[in-house]
Amino acid sequence: MKRLLKLTILSVIIFTALGCKKYLDINENTNSATESSPNLVLPAALNNTASNFVTYFNYGAWMAGYQANAGGYSFTGSTFFTYNWNSGTNNGLFNAAFSDLRSYQYIITSTTGVNKFVLYNAVSRVMKSYYYQILVDEYGNVPYSEGLAGVDNLTPHYDDAATVYKSLVTEIDAAIKDLQTYGSSSVVTALGSADVMFKGDVTKWIKFANNIKLRILTRAQAGTLASYAAAGFNTFSAEGFLTEDITINPGYVSTSARQNPIWNTYHSTYTGSNGSYAAQQIPTRWIYAFYNGGKLTDASRGALIYKNFTAGTTPINQLGNETGVSSWISGYPAWYIGVGTALNAPETQGIIKSRVMGQLIMPAAETYFLLAEAALNGHLLSGDAATNFENGIKASYNYLQKSGTTTTSATDAALTSYLTAYKAANPASYLVNYSLATTNVQKLEAIITQKYISLNFVNGYEAWQEYKRTGYPAISGTAATTTFVSLQSSATSADRLPVRNLYPTTEYNLNPNVPTGLNAYTSKIFWDVN
């Protein structure tokens, strides 16, 4: 693996927004770090995690069937259409993860044995596990045990993917123990304002760690780690799981480049210019059919996600189709439902809410659906399958109805009313009415399909991994509402989709330990037994 000759550390850029807030970036040399550096590196690393989320967001939106090409732009030959992947494709997925991992590893290395920074050490281990899960799910074997040694090892060994998964669980459990032991201690340095994710709330970090562990065990429960995962479901800490929308906000401001990264990419820059993807990408007919009656009817969430949904004039397309394609509604990205354009665009509800909204990295809905599947498989971690299933649907609606920077949830009555109306609009569908699912196969399909809907233009990367694992939501044929596969697919797999990415060219050029002989269409990740 290519390694910088010097590790990088993140420095703080102070700026003012509603008082003194910190926004951070990377550009200092770790070799000149002082004892207080972890206080500075952690918020910077978390900020970079939020910024780099766009890399996985855009990739997932293509792969999971959430976005297609808009009219007026040529995409002919694009690898997002053809899936003709090689070692030069999608390199950002690999590089973005390791860029941030080096920062978290710096904290871990510099604070190991330094008791006053034990909390910084623990949360960095949680974030390290968060990133390695992402890497394993897309690449399989990765440099783990030797992967972040810097100049001490420029050609690290690639560890077995299943072994890395087990190591991540061990890492999470150890981090949780430290957070439990020292979370309320007055003799260690509190996370405080350096924690731009949970504002120093150690209990939330513990619960988030459990969330990531739940993701890992859920993914690993079939295949070679089946027995290991089954036992692991009995080892979650008593704090339980974080069933709230998890965001990172290092102090975004609307008047500079330091605004929310999704808004900046899909809506407009702080100068008012179109974001890089604002006009080029529109929803697929496939995903739109989950709202407009093509597959399911969901007028409430449809209107909260898509511009002009109620009028039925949202621009939509089938991925890979380049004939007669609708263009965007000038000045309005399809996922912004507000009434203004560019700098005059106000805060609103939905997906693209505000220039200063927190960057969502794990919605509450995803956690509920993970718990629903665990319960379906006999692991009663928190509530039964049906309750978690319905809570997941309500949590998805709840996130969409929030405006701008607000964290105010809808009332229980409003959420129940929405769910009741949704079920009534789909009276014969077990994908909405869980009680109609008569087999475990149907119940799993319902859970994963609703998770897929809840992750629509929220986290397509996770939705894509879940499709690879389960085959849901089910696709068939080539019609625009029956498949999200590109019309230009060159994949040789049965469903005409790839199963993994290939390692970057730089890895092959500089590290002789990189696995070889891999095929993007047949070399599955160890948990992919679908």
Q: Beta partners for 297?
A: 292
| Encoded tokens for 273 | 């210019």
pLDDT of residue 153: 86
pTM recorded for the entire structure: 0.93
Cis peptide bond upstream of 43, omega within 30: no
**Mean pLDDT in each 10-residue stretch from start to end of the chain (530 residues)?**
37 31 33 61 97 97 98 87 95 95 96 95 98 98 94 92 98 98 95 97 98 98 96 98 97 94 97 96 98 98 98 97 95 97 96 97 98 97 97 98 89 98 98 98 98 98 98 95 97 96 95 96 95
- Which element (helix H / strand E) includes 13? strand 8-16
Which residues, at least 6 apart from 368, have a Cβ–Cβ distance to it below 8 Å? 243, 388, 389, 391, 392, 395
Q: Strands of 206-278 (E only): list them.
A: 246-248
pLDDT of residue 405: 81
| Encoded tokens for 211 | 């969330």
- Nearest CA among 250, 221, 200 for reference residue 466: 221
Buried b (16+ CB within 10 A) or exposed e, 84-106: ebebebbbbbbbbbbbbbbbbbb
pLDDT of residue 483: 98
pLDDT of residue 31: 34
pLDDT of residue 36: 53
DSSP string, 128-194: HHHHHHHHHHHHSSB--SSTT-GGG-SSPPPBPHHHHHHHHHHHHHHHHHHHHHHTT-SSS---GGG
Backbone dihedral angles phi then psi of residue 181, each to the nearest 5 degrees = -70, -40
pLDDT of residue 82: 96
pLDDT of residue 74: 83
